[in-house]
Amino acid sequence: MALKTEQQEAFDYLSKTFPNMSTEGKAKLMGIWEGESNLKKSRTEDVPLYVNEKKAAGLFISPFQVLDSYPTEAKIVKKYKTKAGSAQTKELLAQERSLWSMPKDREQWFKGHKERYGIPSFDPSKSHQENKKIQNAALKKLTPEQKIGFEKEFYDKVYKEQGGYPTRGIGPIQVTGMDNIVKSLNTAAGIYNKPEWAELAKIVKNEPEKIDSLIRNNPELETALSMGWIKNNLVTEEGDLKAGSLKEINTIVNKGNAGYDEKNKAYTEALSALTQSKEILDAQKARATYAQTDPRRVDLAPQAMPQAPQAMPQAPQPVPQAQPTYDYIPEPLERQYATMEDLLADRGLMGTRGL
């Protein structure tokens, strides 16, 4: 299984920025990265609204997003293994609900805010899905300008202390709020050796309205901002992701578990792809190591052609000598002799016959 384009982009950034991070740690952040990206897209495409004004509280990504993880006693009992109705359960429930609490005036404001844009409020007699369907139908009737106005008024009211609309979510993991933006940008300046980003942090802190023109929709800065936030909030001194399940990490990212199912699916896919890739690389390394150490291996590396053996030194040959010459020249035979004795006798070299 190969990584998808967006997963590969996330993996490349995480590997470069956090080289000591484990494969599982990277996969978790890749899952959150993809899930947050899809939530961001949904706000301009098929936008789900908060169907219950009581859930539109405190710390979340968008006024259009439905938060299904609102703390209940049953969820506390399951999460912490406590007893229903116990003092411990009630205390934990109060603590978790404090993260979601919205002052009454904000709750009423949000209800009236939707109604001003022709979006019906939550009807307790209807199901969650029915409310969602009704509100989405109303939202689709809004013009792009009205959608922007709806979101701008919401952020300026609910996130007033954090910087309002200009400081809404930025980048792959939606860094939100002036304090987060400035800290993350300063950290990114150190990570990537970009001192000019530290100067940029000073500018946007003093002039929030410049965030849109200087940072938003700049892919390099948006991603660097997310890397800075991750380093500040999710990474240990050793450079690995903090311990915890994906749900626990996701809770740190957006103070809830918005989009958890989609993020968990993306995390599972990323982990599977990374694990398979690692197994393939490990197998290739193992084969290469075995090939180098196996005494029976055949070295296929090109070798120089063997040189022809040099000729052996030859034994010295005798120098041909001149043939001797003789002064004696035998006289030609003047007649034939029947035997050698006759020849010798004729020349006086032999005695009489019979000796």
For residue 335, is it within any domain? no
From first to last of its 355 residues, the chain has per-residue pLDDT tens of 677 777 888 899 899 999 999 999 999 999 888 877 765 555 544 444 555 555 554 433 344 333 345 678 888 898 888 999 999 899 888 877 765 554 556 667 777 877 888 888 777 788 877 877 887 788 888 888 888 888 888 788 777 778 888 998 898 888 988 999 999 999 999 999 999 999 999 999 999 999 999 999 899 999 999 999 999 999 999 999 998 888 888 888 876 666 788 888 888 988 988 888 765 555 555 665 655 665 555 454 455 555 555 656 666 666 666 555 555 555 555 555 556 666 566 655 555 444 4
In a domain, 5, yes or no: no
For residue 117, tell me if it sits in a domain.
Answer: yes
Is residue 9 in some structural domain?
no
pLDDT at 348: 58
**Would residue 39 count as lying in a domain?**
no
pLDDT at 293: 62
Contact between 76 and 89 under an 8 Å Cβ cutoff? The reply is: yes
- Asked if residue 36 lies in contact with residue 260, where contact means CB atoms within 8 angstroms, the answer is no
| Residue at 116 is within a domain | yes
Provide the pLDDT for residue 303.
Answer: 52
Domains held by the chain: number:
1
Among 355, 341, 340, 17, CA closest to 172: 17
Which structural domain, as residue segments, surrounds residue 139? 49-158
Half-sphere exposure of 229 (CA within 13 A, CB side): 26
**Is residue 210 in a domain?**
no
Q: What pLDDT does residue 233 have? A: 92
The pLDDT, as a whole number, for residue 292 is 61
Answer whether residue 267 is part of any domain.
Answer: no
Quick one: pLDDT at residue 259? 73
